[in-house]
Amino acid sequence: MTEGDDETVTLKLLKQKMHEFAQERDWERHHSPRNLLLALVMEAIDSERKRRSMLQLDGVDPSREDLYGVGEVGELSEIFQWKGEVEKGLADWKEEEKVHLGEELSDVLLYLVRLSDICGVDLGQAALRKIRLNAIKYPIPNPNPTSNSNP
């Protein structure tokens, strides 16, 4: 059993840990809605690329396969597509736009929760483990106001 295995993992806890992680590395300035969405899209594309490579190894023509991993992320992207840079907090968005965003974010979250359940993965513990691994990969830099570290 590793550190945190007996910890109840809530969305509130993950939100707090991700906030602290970004703040400690001076990444808050990089974490705009647009940049975070692009990071999510890149994760989806990378996962899809890996899945298609596995299909090729199995003798399946990947060009005939649907884009399995990017559907919901694509729908999420459409919300931001023509908005340009968006401020944190979405102060200039209409309430119905925020509700729609919440619905699409929820779709992504719910698919992840369901997939992790079907695969027998404790998603909360996996997320905490990933935060610990990222802390090793991206250590807290020495205090330097001109930090150029990438998020």
Domain count, the chain: 1
Residue the block writes with tokens 């919901």: 72
Query: Is 48's pLDDT higher than 60?
Result: yes
Whether 34 maps to a domain, the answer reads yes
149 lies in some domain: no
pLDDT in tens, 53-87: 776 776 766 565 555 556 778 888 889 888 888 89
Q: Residue 57: its pLDDT value, please? A: 74
- What's the whole-number mean pLDDT along residues 21-49? 89
Q: Bigger pLDDT: 143 or 82?
A: 82
Average pLDDT, the chain: 84
CATH number at 49 reads: 1.10.287
For residue 110, the enclosing domain spans: 11-137
Q: Which of 49, 42, 45, 47 is nearest to 63 (CA)?
A: 49
Does the pTM of the predicted model rise above 0.75? no
